[in-house]
């Protein structure tokens, strides 16, 4: 069958008939379900699909993926919208119609990344944190409101509605979409790497850079190499006492060790039958942590049960079931699917675990945690009953989309808190305790179950509905604790129910960060230290004078199930999302500009017109380049472009203060992503970045001409001297969040190429999108390239570059993986490429996009 022969067919759904792109007779029976979705996408858009139609394990080729919708949050959404606004300006300046720059697919933006846990442990914490959020971010929010009125297919979910991924799971996701009588899979591409959380509901989606998102919104495909598919077969069921968090930490460790970077993970097997969508979403959310492109669960009865429970209409359920069964997307545990690779996971072998101190894959069995953590602590004062020392828990946060989407672990945390309070226990006074759930529904069912007062008694007052501690918006430590940490050089810890625990990410004064389930977060707050054996040592002394152990307050599985059954009702979801786009009085009273182009304020410290269309990067050979920094292994996007608070004495902080911004109002790097003048000064400035060109230092420091200086000042000097600069790094360069500024910042500093031993998927793509060339050393090479001597780079026609420095020569692979990426690089990046295409035709046409 040819593409031309692949015409829409009809599908009966109840009493009506819909059109769809059939896969019967086109897709091989053994084709993994994730690839079936990509094949349908290719056929419907008329893209070449031979590599999918003729797929066998190990197949290679290029895939063009068209998003059915694009998903954003505010900190990535603001620079995306700024780029689109600048693109409108560029079109208008060339005599074109700025309205041609408009999304061709639905785009949804959830404001959830700007609230900070400044206030905590008190009943009015939520109200005060929201007030501060609006004070700090009103300018950005007005800009987003301008975008909502100027761009026809952009919807904005206002602050305080929940974490984007949980809003997606509970309300926005279509699973099967329908436009103009044509139905097709909901293929969601988002600017947050944890977009994969929606994979738990049977929606194929993953994180892309905001640069790619802009192109996708304007009708361009996302070009990618045909990904290998890893089939993960689940068997058994979770034992009593093990949570979905323990399961996901186990899977993260297993799959990171197996190696799934750039691959699709597809779950199947008999273990799925008893695994609810909440648990699946917890696993899928951690896809970036184990490195895969996506972590997809097939559609089955659990999917339909969740859709019904969260208020989706019966007609939607019927459509999802009929379509999934017709297209081979319904889960059949006996189906003889073929995968590139296979992994087996027995749920029955999962045990209570935590992960840390700086990577999600560093799983530690709870039974072995004390000895592991003790071995890593420095010599010196340890935490006592009255004072924090080395190993003290100073942040205990129930936070993030990873676990707060899951009623089982949230109810377990609430019941454990109740039992602890009844025993007379309290959180230690040096622990900053916060609760920032992903959904407003969480607080509804905790209140219905009568558990909220007990969490509050332990200090876990509601601090906000947003992505807070997990992204570094944890706020300051308790002041006297912070002073002790600094003056005595204490190595203290945060424990959080999030997904990321990279060094320097959670809180600047905290060096060790541990991921744990919500009930274990409560337990560690009670203990006040990490160097404790929760299975054998008491959490404290009860009101009766007797020691209280974790086993004494851990709730029974039957009690957890009973509370969920009685407290969690479908009406809670329909009520929570009845007016989700309206916002509160603060949002409704915000002003917003009008018009097709945005009125930039040159005095603004939050929003500046991006410069990417003024002088695109110049592709080609490099002669006499210098290394701006020489970095090691596992450098994260947090190292490259932090999201947390802007220190007053940093390069960015000094810049803002020179403009009259008070030291107390510098806000975070995440909040200022609409201002390139701040963000380029924040590149390579993480407090924990180690650059071997400035041996013995941490932070944004490098060496130029034998003198230590800031990375920014060195880059500006190299630009003035017209000397090209590069970055040299080790393995797994760019792990972590999908962070455009980790590529945009270096590009604005003049970085022309990154030479690394391996790249994380999204960051490599972002580099290409900014016209920065990713070059990859051959296995076993690169350690001896110090970056201290000039570097010459000659690009070959065979896919390799010849790199010469200090008498050594290397052959590096040019990581432009698809023809489209070659086009982007030649044009100087995605944005100049898309602008050129917009100028060359009136408006792109994309099938089944609703416009």
392-401 residue pLDDT tens: 999 999 998 8
745-784 residue pLDDT tens: 999 999 999 999 999 988 999 999 999 999 999 999 999 9
> HEC string of 35-64?
HHHHHHHHHHCCCCCHHHHCCCCCCCCEEE
- State the helix-helix crossing angle for 407-423 and 244-258, rounded to 10 degrees: 130
CB 320 within 8 A of CB 303: yes
CATH numeric code, 356-576: 3.30.499.10
pLDDT for the residue 846: 38
Q: Which two tokens stand for residue 299?
A: 């559609």
790-822 residue pLDDT tens: 999 999 999 999 999 999 999 999 999 988 899
Asked whether the predicted pLDDT for residue 693 surpasses 90, the reply is: yes
**57 vs 55: CA distance, rounded Å:** 7
**793 vs 625: CA distance, rounded Å:** 8
Q: What is the mean pLDDT of the chain?
A: 93
How many residues are listed for the chain in this entry? 851
pLDDT for the residue 798: 95
Return the CATH superfamily for domain 622-641+683-828.
Aconitase, domain 4 (3.20.19.10)
CB 673 within 8 A of CB 720: no
What's the DSSP call for residue 672? G
Token pair 């790097």: residue:
669
Return the CATH superfamily for domain 69-349.
Aconitase, domain 3 (3.30.499.10)
pLDDT for the residue 837: 85
Q: Which two tokens stand for residue 211?
A: 């640069």
Per-residue pLDDT band for 849 (boundaries 50, 70, 90) equals very low
| pLDDT, average across residues 359-373 | 95
DSSP track, 559-616: HHHHHHHHH--HHHHHHHTTTTTT--HHHHT-----SSS----TT-SS-----TTTS-
- CA-to-CA dists, residue 412 to 404, 519, 560, angstroms: 11, 6, 6
Strand partners, 156: 109
Token pair 């009690």: residue:
559
**778 vs 749: CA distance, rounded Å:** 27
155-207 residue pLDDT tens: 999 999 999 999 999 999 999 999 988 999 999 999 998 999 999 999 999 99
Q: Which two tokens stand for residue 163?
A: 């974490």
> HEC string of 411-470?
HHHHHHHHHHHHHCCCCCCCCEEEEECCEHHHHHHHHHCCCHHHHHHCCCCECCCCCCHH
Token pair 């009973």: residue:
562
Q: Which two tokens stand for residue 273?
A: 């039958």
pLDDT for the residue 827: 92
* Beta-sheet strands, E only, within 460-503: 493-496
Strands ordered across the beta sheet of 493-496:
363-365, 353-355, 512-515, 493-496, 393-399, 432-436
SS3 519: helix
CA angle 188, 189, 190 (to 5 degrees): 115
What sign does the dihedral 592-596-601-606 (CA atoms) show? positive
* Beta-sheet strands, E only, within 239-371: 264-268, 294-296, 341-346, 353-355, 363-365
CB 416 within 8 A of CB 554: yes
What is the pTM (predicted TM-score) of this model? 0.87
In the chain, the N- to C-terminal Cα span, in Å, equals: 29
**162 vs 401: CA distance, rounded Å:** 9
CB 733 within 8 A of CB 751: no
Percent of the chain with pLDDT over 70: 98
| pLDDT, average across residues 648-666 | 95
Asked whether the predicted pLDDT for residue 423 surpasses 50, the reply is: yes
| pLDDT, average across residues 529-548 | 97
Per-residue pLDDT band for 502 (boundaries 50, 70, 90) equals confident
Q: Which two tokens stand for residue 305?
A: 């049960």
pLDDT for the residue 850: 37
Asked whether the predicted pLDDT for residue 640 surpasses 70, the reply is: yes
Q: Which two tokens stand for residue 47?
A: 């893209």
572-588 residue pLDDT tens: 999 999 999 998 899 98
pLDDT for the residue 255: 97
CB 250 within 8 A of CB 215: no
Query: How many CB atoms are closer than 10 A to CB 577?
Result: 21
Asked whether the predicted pLDDT for residue 648 surpasses 60, the reply is: yes
Give yes or no on whether 69-349 and 356-576 have one common fold. Answer: yes
Tell me the range of 23-32, 213-222, 414-423, 659-668 where mean pLDDT is highest.
414-423
Asked whether the predicted pLDDT for residue 472 surpasses 50, the reply is: yes
Per-residue pLDDT band for 458 (boundaries 50, 70, 90) equals very high
**83 vs 272: CA distance, rounded Å:** 42
Q: Which two tokens stand for residue 275?
A: 């695994």
Poorest-pLDDT segment among 243-252, 402-411, 775-784: 402-411
Asked whether the predicted pLDDT for residue 298 surpasses 70, the reply is: yes
**335 vs 337: CA distance, rounded Å:** 6
- Ranges of each domain in the chain: 9-64, 69-349, 356-576, 622-641+683-828
Q: Which residue blocks in 684-781 are alpha helix, DSSP H?
A: 711-720, 741-748, 761-769
> HEC string of 19-38?
EECCCCCCCCCCCCHHHHHH
Poorest-pLDDT segment among 129-138, 496-505, 618-627: 496-505
Asked whether the predicted pLDDT for residue 333 surpasses 70, the reply is: yes
**Cβ within 8 Å of residue 211, ≥6 positions away:** 83, 740, 743, 744, 766, 769, 770, 829, 830, 831
pLDDT for the residue 841: 57
Whole-number CA gyration radius for the chain: 26
Query: How many CB atoms are closer than 10 A to CB 62?
Result: 16
């Amino acid at each position: 069958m040819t593409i031309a022969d692949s015409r829409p067919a009809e599908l009966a759904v109840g009493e009506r008939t819909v059109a769809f792109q059939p896969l019967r007779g086109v897709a091989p029976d053994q084709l993994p379900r994730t690839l079936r979705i990509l094949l349908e996408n290719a056929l419907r858009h008329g893209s070449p699909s031979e590599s999918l139609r003729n797929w066998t394990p190990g197949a290679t080729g290029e895939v063009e993926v068209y998003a059915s919708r694009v998903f954003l949050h505010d900190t990535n959404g603001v620079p995306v919208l700024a780029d689109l606004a600048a693109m409108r300006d560029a079109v208008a300046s060339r005599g074109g119609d700025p309205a041609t720059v408009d999304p061709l697919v639905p785009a949804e933006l959830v404001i959830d990344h700007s609230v900070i846990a400044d206030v905590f442990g008190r009943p009015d914490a939520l109200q005060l944190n929201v007030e501060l959020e609006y004070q700090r971010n009103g300018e950005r929010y007005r800009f987003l409101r301008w975008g909502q009125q100027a761009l026809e297919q952009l919807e904005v979910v206002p602050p305080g509605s929940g974490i984007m991924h949980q809003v997606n799971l509970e309300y926005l996701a279509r699973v099967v979409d329908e436009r103009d009588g044509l139905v097709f899979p909901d293929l969601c591409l988002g600017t947050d790497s944890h977009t994969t959380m929606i994979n738990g509901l049977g929606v194929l989606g993953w994180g892309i850079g905001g640069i790619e998102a802009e192109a996708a919104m304007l009708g361009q495909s996302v070009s990618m190499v045909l990904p290998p598919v890893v089939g993960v077969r689940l068997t058994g069921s979770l034992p009593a006492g093990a949570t979905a968090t323990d399961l996901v930490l186990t899977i993260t460790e297993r799959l990171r060790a197996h190696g799934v970077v750039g691959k699709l993970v597809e779950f199947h097997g008999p273990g799925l039958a008893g695994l609810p969508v909440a648990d699946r979403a917890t696993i899928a959310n951690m896809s970036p942590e184990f490195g895969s492109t996506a972590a997809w669960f097939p559609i089955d009865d659990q999917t339909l049960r969740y859709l019904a429970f969260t208020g989706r209409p019966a007609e939607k359920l019927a459509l999802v079931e009929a379509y999934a069964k017709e297209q081979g997307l319904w889960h059949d545990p006996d189906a003889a699917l073929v995968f590139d690779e296979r992994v087996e996971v027995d749920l029955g072998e999962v045990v209570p675990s935590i992960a840390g101190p700086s990577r999600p894959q560093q799983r530690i069995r709870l039974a072995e945690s004390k000895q592991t953590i003790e071995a890593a602590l420095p010599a010196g004062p340890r935490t006592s009953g009255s004072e924090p020392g080395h190993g003290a828990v100073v942040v205990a946060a129930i936070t993030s989309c990873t676990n707060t989407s899951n009623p089982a672990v949230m109810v377990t945390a609430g019941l454990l808190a109740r039992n602890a309070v009844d025993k007379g226990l309290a959180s230690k006074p040096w622990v900053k305790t916060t609760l920032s759930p992903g959904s407003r529904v969480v607080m509804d069912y905790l209140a219905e179950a009568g558990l909220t007062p007990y969490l509050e008694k332990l200090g876990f007052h509601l601090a906000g509905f947003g992505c807070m501690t997990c992204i570094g918006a944890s706020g300051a430590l308790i002041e006297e604790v912070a002073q002790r940490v600094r003056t005595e050089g204490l190595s203290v810890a945060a424990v959080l129910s999030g997904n990321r625990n990279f060094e320097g990410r959670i809180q600047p004064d905290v060096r060790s960060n541990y991921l744990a389930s919500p009930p274990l977060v409560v337990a560690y707050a009670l203990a006040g230290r990490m160097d404790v054996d929760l299975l054998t040592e008491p959490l404290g002394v009860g009101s009766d004078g007797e020691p209280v152990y974790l086993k004494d307050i851990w709730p029974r599985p039957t009690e957890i199930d009973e509370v969920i059954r009685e407290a969690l009702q479908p009406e809670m979801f329909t009520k929570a999302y009845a007016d989700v786009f309206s916002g509160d009085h603060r949002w409704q009273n915000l002003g917003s500009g009008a018009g097709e182009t945005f009125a930039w304020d040159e005095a603004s410290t939050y929003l500046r017109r991006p410069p990417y269309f003024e002088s695109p990067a110049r592709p080609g050979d490099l002669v006499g380049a210098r290394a701006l920094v020489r970095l090691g292994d596992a450098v994260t996007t947090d190292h490259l472009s932090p999201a947390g608070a802007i220190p007053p004495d940093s390069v960015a902080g000094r810049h803002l203060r020179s403009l009259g911004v008070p030291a107390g109002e510098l806000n975070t790097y995440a909040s200022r992503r609409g201002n390139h003048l701040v963000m380029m000064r924040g590149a390579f400035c993480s407090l924990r970045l180690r650059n071997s060109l400035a041996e013995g230092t941490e932070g944004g420091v490098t060496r130029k001409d034998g003198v230590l200086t800031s990375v920014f000042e060195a880059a500006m000097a190299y630009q003035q001297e017209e000397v090209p600069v590069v970055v040299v790094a080790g393995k797994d360069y760019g792990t972590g969040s999908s962070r455009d500024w980790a590529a945009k910042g270096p590009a604005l500093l003049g970085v022309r190429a990154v030479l690394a031993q391996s790249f994380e998927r999204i960051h490599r793509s972002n580099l290409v999108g900014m016209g920065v060339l990713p070059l990859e050393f051959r296995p076993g090479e690169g350690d001896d390239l110090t970056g201290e001597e000039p570097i010459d780079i000659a690009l070959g026609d065979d896919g390799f570059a010849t790199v010469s420095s200090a008498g050594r020569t290397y052959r590096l692979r040019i990581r432009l993986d698809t023809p489209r990426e070659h086009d982007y690089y030649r044009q100087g990046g995605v944005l100049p490429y898309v602008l050129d295409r917009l100028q060359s035709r009136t408006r792109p046409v994309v099938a089944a996009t609703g416009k």
